[in-house]
Amino acid sequence: MTQNLLALYVLKFPPFTPDLATEAIYVPPQIDDFCWRIEQVHVRDGGFAMIHGDPGSRKSIVLRVLAERLARLPDVTVQPTRKAI
């Protein structure tokens, strides 16, 4: 998307790209609450969480947002993973 189109629609980031910046992603309260619980409970006490849902239900977006939030925590290392082929 060209700068002219971005300016025309008052967009900071090109939409519909897989590498969309996470600060440009709308995080609804349910996802924010889920991320908070992972940060506050699972990181401190240990455990795991499973993210599942229908295709197109924003699972990858949730993982990107959660990974960024966890990377900001001290003493937490987020390992990038390969995409499934």
pLDDT tens for each residue of 8-65:
888 887 777 777 778 878 889 999 999 999 888 887 777 777 888 999 888 888 888 9
Residue 72 near residue 36 (C-beta atoms within 8 A): no
Q: How confident is the model at residue 71 (pLDDT cuts 50, 70, 90)?
A: confident
CA-CA distance, 73 to 32, in Å (whole number)?
16
